[in-house]
Amino acid sequence: MLAIWIATAFVLGLLARQLRLPPLVGFLAAGFLLNAFGVERTPLLDDIAHLGVLLLLFTVGLKLRFKNLLRAEVWGVGSLQFVITLVLVQWLLRALTDLPLGALLAAASMLAFSSTVLAAKILEQKREMRAFHGRVAIGILIVQDVIAVAILGMYGASQLDWPAAFVLLLPLLKWPLEKLLSLTGHGELLVLLGAVLALGVGGYGVEAIGLSSELGALLTGMLLANHPRAVELSDSLWGMKEFFLVGFFLTVGLTETPNWSTLGLALIPLVLIPFKVMLYFFLLLAFGLSARTAFLAGLSLATYSEFGLIVMAAAAKYGMVDNAWVVATAICIALSFAIAAPLNRHAHDIYAALERWLRIFERRRRHPDDEPVSLGKAEVAVVGMGRVGTGAYNHVREIGRKVVGLDSDLGKVERHLREGRRVVYADAEDPLLWHRLRLDALQVIILALPDTEAKILASEQLRKRGYQGLISATYVWPEERELILAAGADVAYNYFAEAGVGLASDTFEALAPTGKSGANIRPGTHRS
Neighbours of 396 (CB within 10 A): 21
Q: Residues 6 or more apart from 416 whose CB is under 8 A from it?
A: 385, 390, 405, 407, 423
Q: Where in the chain are the domains?
A: 2-361, 372-514
pLDDT of residue 517: 47
Answer for the pair 126, 120: CB distance below 8 angstroms, yes or no: no
Q: What is the dihedral of CA 435, 449, 460, 404, to 10 degrees?
A: 40
Residue among 379, 387, 519, 527 at smallest CA distance from 442? 379
Domain 2-361 has CATH 3.40.190.10: no
Query: Mind giving me the DSSP string for 496-518?
Result: HHHHHHHHHHHHHHHHGGG-SS-
β-strand pairing of 380-383 with 403-407: parallel
Q: How far apart are CA 64 and CA 144, in angstroms?
A: 12
If you count them, how many residues does the chain have?
528
Q: Which of 158-162, 238-242, 288-292, 417-421 is the most confident on average?
A: 417-421
Which long-range contacts link 14-19 to residues 24+ away (Cβ below 8 Å)? Answer: none
* CATH number given to 372-514: 3.40.50.720
Answer for the pair 496, 503: CB distance below 8 angstroms, yes or no: no
pLDDT (average), residues 191-220: 77
Average pLDDT, the chain: 79
pLDDT of residue 34: 85
Answer for the pair 94, 282: CB distance below 8 angstroms, yes or no: no
Q: What is the dihedral of CA 453, 456, 461, 467, to 10 degrees?
A: 150
pLDDT of residue 527: 37
pTM above 0.75, yes or no: no
Q: What is the DSSP letter of 422?
A: -
pLDDT digits 0-9 by tens, 277-303: 999 999 999 988 888 889 999 999 998
Question: How far is Cα of residue 67 from the mean position of the Cα atoms in its chain?
Answer: 17
Answer for the pair 233, 186: CB distance below 8 angstroms, yes or no: no
Answer for the pair 9, 250: CB distance below 8 angstroms, yes or no: yes
Question: How far is Cα of residue 306 from the mean position of the Cα atoms in its chain?
Answer: 15
pLDDT digits 0-9 by tens, 443-501: 999 999 887 888 888 898 888 888 889 999 988 888 888 899 999 999 888 877 767 76
Residue 519 pLDDT exceeds 50: no
pLDDT digits 0-9 by tens, 99-153: 666 677 777 777 888 887 677 767 766 767 667 788 888 888 878 877 776 776 6
The three-point CA angle 116-117-121 to 5° equals 115
Q: How far apart are CA 109 and CA 86, in angstroms?
A: 8
Residue 438 pLDDT exceeds 50: yes
